[in-house]
């Protein structure tokens, strides 16, 4: 089967050489039982490659199961993958087969494999090396014949350095690597994808197909698409439903692209390569810290010269114009009480320092969470990954800061 035939069979749109290389690699390795590691950013379409590997293999008549490792709680992931015996833990009223037992003779796709706990990684390594596993609560060794395909949008080399992923497991999974290119690396495919999505939505919603004017097409191609194909599909659907005029201008298009990234430049590292999303997030964090440091200087200036307090209103607009919810620097603002007619003592200065430190930490955390949510279009799972925290922790922080 040729690369073009694979595209037609699995509904893959694009002519990029990077995409063709990834498909050709999958085509070549599919007939073997080699373990494959699929890498690429969120939203690039990594999930179609395990299907290619399974359907073009000798296991195509066997079972196929996709497991999102990041969606299963740490306390139950071993039971889900390897099964458990009756009474193995509270609530285990009967024995249960795990995925590796159920899919014997088939293919198992471990999505977001970087989210596996370290102890589960040890169990997975044993399966890959010997084909053996043990149910939770059992001492009996069982055999399985399963092909493992894994995927992640995390840089596993960095995860290994931080002690979050086992190096020996990485080498077992990375027998054959397949990298799925980001949408900005295959700009020639953006118009093709847009036309395909626009045609599909026009048919689904029984309405005319939206078309891009030349300036809108250029804006579409120039945009970085941090959410990749998934984001492009969402924007196309919104245009199809919400725009009355079916010929879309650049002005109309930009209403559906997040304002903070419409014209965001491509940041470059010293080596000349694009910074990853985590580094971009850190850059935003450091910029916010600089702004708050400037704010601290202003506050201490007010403490030393309280008679100039009224001029702070002019400074307020300048200092906080980039914040979604500006901090109100009034006499009762920032938990500091100013008395212009009274001298400022050491206790007042200490209280001010403590209040500013609290402001630094809480406001930085809140604004960083907002930036991550905006970048990922409100998808909590992806935002949590960018922030390096669990989705549960992110939800708790959103509740704490009253973020919808």
| Model pLDDT, residue 379 | 87
Res. 159: pLDDT tops 60? yes
Q: Is the pTM of this model over 0.75?
A: no
Q: How far apart are alpha carbons 44 and 39 in whole angstroms?
A: 10
Is 254 in contact with 262 (CB distance < 8 Å)? yes
Please write the tens of the pLDDT for every residue from 106-131. Answer: 999 999 999 999 999 999 999 999 99
Q: How far apart are alpha carbons 191 and 194 in whole angstroms?
A: 5
Res. 6: pLDDT tops 90? yes
Which of 116-125, 175-184, 263-272, 293-302 is predicted with the least confidence, judged by mean pLDDT? Answer: 263-272
pLDDT grade, residue 386 (50/70/90)? confident
Helix runs in 30-162, H state only:
48-55, 77-82, 99-102, 118-130, 156-161
Q: Which residue has the higher pLDDT, 210 or 322?
A: 210
Q: Which of 193, 154, 170 is nearest to 40 (CA)?
A: 154
Is 170 in contact with 156 (CB distance < 8 Å)? yes
Q: Which of 69, 123, 99 is nearest to 391 (CA)?
A: 69
| Model pLDDT, residue 209 | 95
Res. 79: pLDDT tops 70? yes
| Model pLDDT, residue 303 | 60
Is 254 in contact with 215 (CB distance < 8 Å)? no
Segment (H or E) for 142: strand 141-143
Residues in the chain: 404
Q: Which residues contact 74 (CB under 8 A, 6 or more apart)?
A: 117
User: Is 136 exposed, middle or buried (CB count within 10 Å of its CB: 0-12, 13-18, 19+)?
Assistant: buried
Percentage of the chain modeled with pLDDT above 90 = 59
| Model pLDDT, residue 299 | 66
Which of 92-106, 203-217, 234-248, 288-302 is predicted with the least confidence, judged by mean pLDDT? Answer: 288-302
In which residue are the tokens 């350095």 written? 161
In which residue are the tokens 């048919």 written? 203
pLDDT grade, residue 341 (50/70/90)? very low
Pairing mode of beta strands 211-212, 247-248: parallel
Neighbouring CB atoms inside 10 A of 394's CB total 21
Is 175 in contact with 36 (CB distance < 8 Å)? yes
Tokens of 287: 């910029």
| Model pLDDT, residue 376 | 85
The topology (CATH level 3) of 3-181 is Rossmann fold (3.40.50)
Is 145 in contact with 103 (CB distance < 8 Å)? no
Res. 172: pLDDT tops 60? yes
| Model pLDDT, residue 319 | 46
Instruction: Sketch the domain layout of the chain as residue ranges.
Output: 3-181, 184-261, 277-400
Q: How far apart are alpha carbons 287 and 153 in whole angstroms?
A: 26
Tokens of 358: 């609290």
CATH 3.40.30.10 assigned to domain 184-261? The reply is no
Q: How far apart are alpha carbons 226 and 219 in whole angstroms?
A: 15
Q: Which residues contact 35 (CB under 8 A, 6 or more apart)?
A: 128, 147, 148, 149, 150, 172, 173, 174, 175, 176
Percentage of the chain modeled with pLDDT above 70 = 74
Res. 295: pLDDT tops 80? no
pLDDT grade, residue 367 (50/70/90)? confident
Tokens of 388: 């390096």
List of E strands, 16-123 = 36-39, 64-68, 107-111
Strand partners, 151: 38
């Amino acid at each position: 089967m040729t690369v073009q035939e694979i595209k037609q069979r699995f509904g893959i749109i694009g002519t990029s050489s990077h995409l063709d290389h990834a498909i050709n690699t999958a085509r070549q390795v599919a007939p073997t039982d080699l373990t494959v590691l699929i890498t690429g950013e969120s939203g690039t379409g990594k999930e179609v490659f395990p299907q290619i590997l399974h359907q073009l293999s000798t296991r195509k008549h066997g079972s196929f199961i996709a497991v999102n490792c990041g969606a299963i709680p740490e306390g139950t992931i071993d039971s889900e993958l390897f099964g458990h015996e009756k009474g193995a833990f509270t609530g285990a009223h009967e024995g249960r087969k795990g995925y590796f037992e159920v899919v014997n003779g088939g293919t198992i796709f471990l999505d977001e494999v970087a989210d596996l706990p370290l102890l589960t990684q040890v169990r997975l390594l044993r399966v890959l090396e010997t084909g053996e596993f043990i149910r939770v609560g059992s001492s009996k060794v069982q055999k399985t014949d399963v092909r493992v395909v894994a995927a992640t949008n995390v840089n596993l080399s960095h995860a290994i350095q931080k002690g979050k992923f086992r190096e020996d497991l990485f080498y077992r999974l990375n027998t054959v690597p397949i990298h799925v290119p980001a949408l900005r690396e295959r700009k020639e495919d953006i118009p093709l994808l847009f036309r395909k999505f626009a045609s599909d939505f026009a048919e689904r919603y029984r309405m005319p197909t939206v078309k891009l004017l030349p300036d809108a097409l250029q804006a579409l191609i120039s945009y970085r698409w941090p959410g990749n194909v998934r984001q492009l599909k969402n924007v196309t659907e919104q245009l199809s439903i919400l725009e009355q005029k079916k010929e879309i201008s650049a002005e109309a298009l930009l209403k559906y692209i997040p304002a903070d990234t419409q014209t965001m430049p491509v940041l470059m590292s010293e080596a000349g390569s694009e910074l990853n999303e985590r580094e971009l997030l850190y850059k935003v964090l450091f910029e916010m810290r600089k702004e708050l440091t400037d704010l601290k200087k202003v506050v201490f200036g007010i403490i030393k010269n309280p008679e100039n307090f009224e001029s702070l209103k002019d400074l307020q607009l300048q200092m906080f114009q980039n914040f979604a919810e500006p901090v109100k620097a009034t006499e009762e603002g920032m938990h500091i009480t100013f008395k212009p007619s009274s001298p400022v003592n050491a206790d007042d200065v200490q209280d001010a320092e403590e209040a500013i430190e609290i402001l630094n930490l809480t406001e930085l955390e809140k604004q960083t969470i907002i930036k991550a949510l905006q970048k990922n279009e409100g998808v909590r799972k992806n935002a949590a990954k960018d922030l390096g925290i669990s989705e549960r922790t992110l939800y708790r922080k959103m509740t704490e800061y009253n973020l919808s």
